[in-house]
Chains A and B, each alone.
Chain A
Amino acid sequence: GAVVSQHPSRVICKSGTSVKIECRSLDFQATTMFWYRQFPKKSLMLMATSNEGSKATYEQGVEKDKFLINHASLTLSTLTVTSAHPEDSSFYICSARDPAGGPGDTQYFGPGTRLTVL
């Protein structure tokens, strides 16, 4: 099946620094990737939709200048949390849509990145 990887799996950083998270589709080309944020014991909150070669579409309430998304190739999207603060600590999960995956618009999810900002 389709595999999506994320790197790093865990990161701890100091307040005020920036952190980059990578999301890769390993065995398919993903024209669209999605970034989610998950709070403890909560559901996933869609942050933005990342389209290859164009600007990301952010959900209402998500600061585009704080959460920079780049989708430079069909297999890689990156999320950069700029000037991170403790309230940005969370579990960030990406997903990729496999356009060749048949009906149902199936999204395949990465394993997630646990960000802790001290």
Chain B
Amino acid sequence: GDSVTQMEGPVTLSEEAFLTINCTYTATGYPSLFWYVQYPGEGLQLLLKATKADDKGSNKGFEATYRKETTSFHLEKGSVQVSDSAVYFCALSDHGNNRLAFGKGNQVVVIP
């Protein structure tokens, strides 16, 4: 079935550092891809999305490009802030059943 794989382990970095979180997927069709962010004690917020190959989603300085050839949707931000500390989930949606498959999430901690 459809699945999403995120890199293992938390990510700790200093303010203004470059952030990359890897995400790869397995899908039989042509899914839509998402990044969601979860701040402590809260639900998930949609950060960005891409619906077809080569699309680039962007929001709040974050970007991710839908790479069909490498089945990837890596999240990047050029200069992180302390307020970006959160858990980031990569997800895909199969258009056929509207269900989301989530990766395990990555805890990002930005140190001042």
Q: Which residues of A contact B (CB under 8 A)?
A: 6, 32, 34, 41-44, 46, 49, 93, 95, 97, 103-112
With both beta carbons as reference points, the residue of chain B lying nearest to A46 in the complex is identified as B99
Contact B49 A104 (CB under 8 A): yes
Min CB gap A108→B, angstroms: 7
Contact for A97 among B43, B89, B98, CB less than 8 A: B98
Contact B89 A43 (CB under 8 A): yes
A84-B103 Cα distance, complex, nearest whole Å:
28
**Contacts of A108 on B, CB cut-off 8 Å?**
46
Nearest first, the 7 closest Cβ-Cβ pairs linking A and B are A104-B32, A109-B44, A111-B43, A112-B43, A104-B51, A105-B93, A109-B43
Q: Return the CB mask of B29-54 against A: 1 if under 8 Å, else 0.
A: 00010101000011111100111000
Total residue contacts A-B, CB cutoff 8 A: 55
Known: A103-B32, A104-B93. A43 touches B43 (CB 8 A): no
Total residues of chain B contacting the partner, CB 8 A: 23
The yes or no answer to B68 lying at the interface (CB within 8 A) is: no
Given contacts A46-B100, A49-B99, A109-B43, 15 further A-B contacts (CB under 8 A): A32-B98, A42-B105, A43-B104, A44-B102, A93-B44, A104-B51, A106-B32, A106-B34, A106-B49, A107-B93, A107-B100, A109-B36, A109-B45, A109-B46, A111-B42
**Contacts of A111 on B, CB cut-off 8 Å?**
42-43
Min CB gap B102→A, angstroms: 5
**Contacts of A103 on B, CB cut-off 8 Å?**
32, 51
Min CB gap B107→A, angstroms: 8
Min CB gap B15→A, angstroms: 24
Q: Return the CB mask of B76-112 against A: 1 if under 8 Å, else 0.
A: 0000000000000100010100111011110100000
A34-B100 Cα distance, complex, nearest whole Å:
9
Contact A43 B105 (CB under 8 A): yes
**Contacts of A44 on B, CB cut-off 8 Å?**
44, 89, 102
A95-B38 Cα distance, complex, nearest whole Å:
14
